[in-house]
């Protein structure tokens, strides 16, 4: 044992002493490319031997030549380090680069008149540029890729050559790309569908004999997915049935189950647990009608809602919806039973905005603070909304906008005359892989009517996990002389949140909220806190610990929620 210990002590300096590499003389892209080559060496491969130094010099020269520097001077010096190890100091002087002195780039076939290929030619290697092997290969790949996306399936290079004459410091690029004829869309054939063919045909974004475009196949796939009618969708170009460069499109579909159930949960200190149940019948007949029923339960509110959707000729973008909902509220100073019946017409506009025109009948029997009343209102309205995102779960980028207006007037049988405005905006952006910003704005206003003539569902309250954390649910609003909440004519809240990825799909968050609900003068409230986020497959799971800075005693609130952040 004593001899073994002595042997280990003698060997340990040799084991600990490793040879390292240090690169000097380069910056920018040159430095990055050489380091890519050096990073391929494992620690155990690096040595001070002349053989390794020759290999090292050869690899660095190759990395420099890939970016057009064929006359680099490479000096390798052996140095000792304080840790009784050694270091190879690599000094690289790039020298003068090789520049392109002649190009011969030709587009042949139908692509010669295609505007997309003309745009791509602007990225081609140019005379006077430093020769760059990576950009040359990338340009060739871009030509092939564009040809496949735009239906030039017979495209090929009849000539492809990059010639470099290091002694003359010259390079010559010769590329002849023959695209051949462009293919066109043939007929679209659906199989396995439970929906009438004429309904499906309205989803096809192209006409037969139109020039092929791969993105339009993606649009067709997305349009079919948005209907919620199918459990699987496979869109393929049938290369075995090509006739005169007409490419038939086969769409294999499998019906979605006739019943789908989704659940959701939430929690906050003030209203306790919240449970949501969504029962969807995605298709009822071959015309694609659907029924969606929702049940939401919490200590403060209980609601049930059903919506019947009737797609129109353009089933992906236009539909009618008949909706009825019943809600009971008993929380804070509000007690109400609310009944809503609405008829809605939905359009998807060309700029990705949804437009919804509606007429809603609202009957509400309520007690708000010291006021007991009921109200029957008929309110036509219109809204515009848009939602976009990149990625799922916790998207790297997303934005959501909603603008809406409803009008009520006694001349058509309503109990009050007013205009109600509503707006929401949200934005998510990412910086690198570890940093996210989430911002939200929420606002509303009631014009031409006093608050005490409105039912509670049309008044404005702030507070809770959706707009002003650190305050109890809907606890921020004007109060009467007895200190009871009465709701406001106006509401505005803002939230800014920073998130940092700790590991995987787990994030830490810190946030600040600001807002108020008021009738005459706003009493602005501030809330701050921190939280934990988990990007689950079904959406973001959020736990927030929040403090209301302007609340009595600065109380602490715990919020738990599941679903989209905007």
pLDDT at 12 over 50: no
Length of the chain: 566
The secondary structure of 35-78, three-state, reads HHHHCCCCHHHCCCCHHHHHHHHHHHHHHHHCCCCCCCEEEEEE
Q: Return the residue matching tokens 């109200």.
A: 375
CA distance 233 to 250: 10
How many CB atoms are closer than 10 A to CB 465?
A: 23
Give the pLDDT score at 42. Answer: 85
Q: Return the residue matching tokens 């000097």.
A: 24
Q: Sorting pLDDT into bands at 50, 70 and 90, what band is 8?
A: very low
CA distance 114 to 122: 14
pLDDT at 243 over 80: no
Tell me the average pLDDT across 196-222.
91
Tell me the average pLDDT across 445-460.
93
Q: Sorting pLDDT into bands at 50, 70 and 90, what band is 3?
A: very low
Share of the chain above pLDDT 70, in %: 96
pLDDT digits (tens, 9 = 90+) for 137-179: 999 999 999 999 999 999 999 999 999 999 899 999 999 999 9
Does domain 20-93 correspond to CATH entry 3.30.40.10? no
Q: Sorting pLDDT into bands at 50, 70 and 90, what band is 4?
A: very low
The domain defined by 260-563 folds into Porin (2.40.160)
Give the pLDDT score at 13. Answer: 43
Element (H, E) at 120: helix 115-121
Give the pLDDT score at 561. Answer: 81
In the CATH scheme, what is the code of domain 99-178? 3.10.20.310
- Long-range (24+ apart) CB contacts under 8 A made by 544-549 are 544/465, 544/469, 544/509, 544/511, 546/469, 546/470, 546/511, 546/513, 547/470, 548/468, 548/470, 548/471, 549/470, 549/525
pLDDT at 562 over 90: no
How high does pLDDT run on average in the chain? 90
Q: Sorting pLDDT into bands at 50, 70 and 90, what band is 268?
A: low
Give the pLDDT score at 315. Answer: 83
Tell me the average pLDDT across 187-213.
91
Cα atoms found within 13 Å of the Cα of residue 555, Cβ hemisphere only: 14
pLDDT at 84 over 60: yes
Residue 478 and residue 487 in contact, taking contact as beta carbons nearer than 8 Å: yes
Give the pLDDT score at 297. Answer: 93
Q: Could you tell me the two tokens for 330?
A: 């008993």
Q: What is the CA radius of gyration of the chain?
A: 33
Partners of residue 292 on adjacent β-strands: 280, 307
pLDDT at 184 over 50: yes
CA distance 514 to 462: 10
Where along the chain do its domains lie?
A: 20-93, 99-178, 184-255, 260-563
Give the pLDDT score at 269. Answer: 61
Q: Classify domain 184-255 at the CATH class level.
A: alpha beta
pLDDT digits (tens, 9 = 90+) for 465-489: 878 998 988 899 999 999 999 999 9
CA distance 343 to 376: 16
Give the pLDDT score at 299. Answer: 85
The lowest-confidence range among 243-247, 258-262, 345-349, 431-435 is: 243-247
Check if 20-93 and 260-563 are the same fold: no
pLDDT digits (tens, 9 = 90+) for 525-561: 999 999 999 988 777 889 999 999 998 776 788 888 8
Cα atoms found within 13 Å of the Cα of residue 103, Cβ hemisphere only: 15
Element (H, E) at 390: strand 371-390
pLDDT at 284 over 90: yes
Q: Sorting pLDDT into bands at 50, 70 and 90, what band is 322?
A: very high
Give the pLDDT score at 9. Answer: 36
Q: Could you tell me the two tokens for 362?
A: 């609202």
């Amino acid at each position: 044992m004593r001899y073994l210990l002595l042997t280990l002590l003698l060997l340990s300096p040799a084991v600990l002493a490793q040879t390292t590499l240090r690169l000097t003389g380069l910056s920018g892209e040159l430095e990055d490319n050489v380091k890519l080559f050096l990073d391929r060496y494992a620690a155990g491969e690096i040595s001070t031997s002349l053989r390794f130094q020759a290999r090292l010099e050869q690899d660095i020269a190759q990395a420099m030549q890939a970016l057009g520097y064929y006359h680099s001077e490479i000096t390798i010096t052996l140095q000792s380090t304080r840790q009784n190890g050694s270091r190879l100091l690599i000094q690289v002087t790039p020298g003068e680069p090789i520049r392109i002195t002649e190009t011969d780039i030709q587009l042949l076939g139908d692509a010669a008149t295609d505007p997309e290929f003309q745009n791509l030619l602007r990225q081609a290697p140019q005379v006077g540029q430093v020769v760059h092997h990576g950009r040359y290969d990338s340009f060739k790949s871009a030509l092939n890729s564009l040809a496949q996306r735009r239906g030039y399936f017979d495209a090929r290079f009849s000539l492809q050559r990059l010639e470099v004459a290091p002694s003359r410091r010259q390079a010559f690029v010769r590329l002849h790309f023959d695209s051949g004829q462009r293919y066109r869309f043939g007929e679209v054939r659906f199989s396995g569908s439970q929906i009438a063919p004429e309904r499906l045909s309205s989803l096809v974004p192209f006409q037969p004999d139109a020039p092929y475009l791969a993105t339009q196949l993606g649009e067709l796939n997305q349009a079919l997915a948005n209907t919620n009618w199918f459990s699987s969708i496979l869109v393929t170009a049938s290369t075995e049935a090509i006739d005169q460069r007409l490419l038939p499109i086969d769409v294999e579909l499998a019906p979605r189950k006739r019943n789908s159930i989704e659940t959701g949960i939430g929690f906050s200190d003030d209203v306790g647990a919240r449970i949501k149940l969504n029962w969807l019948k995605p298709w009822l007949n071959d015309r694609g009608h659907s029924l969606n029923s929702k049940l939401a339960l919490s200590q403060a509110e209980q609601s049930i809602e059903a919506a019947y959707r009737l797609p129109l000729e353009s089933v992906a973008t236009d539909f009618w919806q008949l909706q009825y909902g019943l809600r009971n509220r008993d929380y804070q100073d509000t007690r109400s039973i609310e009944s809503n019946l609405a008829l809605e017409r939905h359009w998807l506009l060309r700029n990705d905005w949804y437009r919804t025109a509606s007429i809603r009948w609202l009957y509400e029997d309520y007690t708000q603070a010291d006021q007991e009343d009921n109200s029957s209102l008929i309110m036509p309205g219109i809204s515009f909304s848009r939602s976009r995102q990149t990625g799922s779960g916790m998207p790297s980028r997303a934005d959501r906008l909603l603008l809406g207006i409803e009008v009520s007037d006694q001349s058509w049988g309503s109990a009050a005359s007013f205009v109600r405005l509503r707006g929401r905006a949200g934005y998510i952006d990412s910086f690198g892989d570890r940093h996210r910003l989430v911002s939200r704005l929420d606002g509303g206003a009631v014009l031409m009517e006093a608050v005490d003539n409105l039912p509670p569902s049309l008044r404005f309250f702030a507070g809770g996990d959706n707009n002003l954390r650190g305050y109890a649910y809907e606890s921020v609003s004007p109060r009467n002389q007895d200190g009871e909440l009465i709701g406001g004519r106006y509401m505005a809240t803002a939230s800014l949140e920073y998130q940092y990825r700790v590991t995987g799909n787990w994030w830490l968050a810190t946030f600040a909220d600001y807002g108020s609900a008021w009738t005459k003068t706003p009493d602005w409230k501030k809330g701050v806190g921190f939280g934990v986020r988990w990007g689950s497959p079904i959406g973001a799971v959020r736990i927030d610990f929040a403090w209301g800075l302007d609340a009595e005693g600065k109380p602490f609130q715990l919020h738990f929620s599941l679903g989209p952040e905007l």
